[in-house]
Amino acid sequence: MTFAELRVDVVILCCAVTAGIHAALVRSHFEEGTGPGVGFILASLAPAACAVLLTRRPSRLALAATAVVFAGLIVSYLLVLVSGLPVLHPEREAVEALAVWTKVIEAIGLVVAAGCLRRPAAFRAEEIVTR
């Protein structure tokens, strides 16, 4: 296994963890309302799709999409804390340990994905073994 493969695997793991946590919380967020429930479905499907894409066809585009997903999840949570997120989660939410831990995982995934993108010589899709 190369270092580039290991870094992509870390990003995939971060995608899987955040997708799983968000999926596990869908039901409780639907109890709050349709908007939060739908938001959590999207928050679980997007990183899950990134994990599949990075597993099947790792590429710079897939890494960039994953970085955008992670950044979006982090920013949306910050908005929910500060003012709520119109339509999806209009009410402010209190800080919770699981949410913070999830954002830490997403931040790790974002940093590692961005690192792969910043060093194109270190990441070449053709060097990544198709899993």
Per-residue pLDDT at 121:
57
SS3 content of the chain, % helix, strand, coil (to 5): 75, 0, 20
Cα distance between residue 91 and residue 127, in whole Å: 46
Residues 48/19, Cβ–Cβ less than 8 Å: yes
pLDDT band with cut points at 50, 70 and 90 for residue 131: very low
Higher confidence at residue 83 or residue 106?
A: 106
Query: Which of 4-8, 45-49, 89-93, 117-121 has the highest average model confidence (pLDDT)?
Result: 45-49
Residues 74/106, Cβ–Cβ less than 8 Å: yes
Per-residue pLDDT at 1:
79
The CA-atom distances, in angstroms, between 80 and each of 36, 39, 89, 104 are 10, 11, 7, 16
User: Where are the chain's structural domains?
Assistant: 3-127
Q: In the block, which residue shows the tokens 């939060």?
A: 36
For residue 6, what are the contacts with CB-CB under 8 A and spacing of at least 6?
A: none
Q: Quote the pTM value.
A: 0.88
Q: Is the pLDDT of residue 130 over 50?
A: no
Cα distance between residue 11 and residue 104, in whole Å: 13
Cα distance between residue 127 and residue 21, in whole Å: 31
Q: Which two tokens stand for residue 15?
A: 């995608």
CA neighbor of 124 nearest in space, from 63, 80, 69, 74: 63
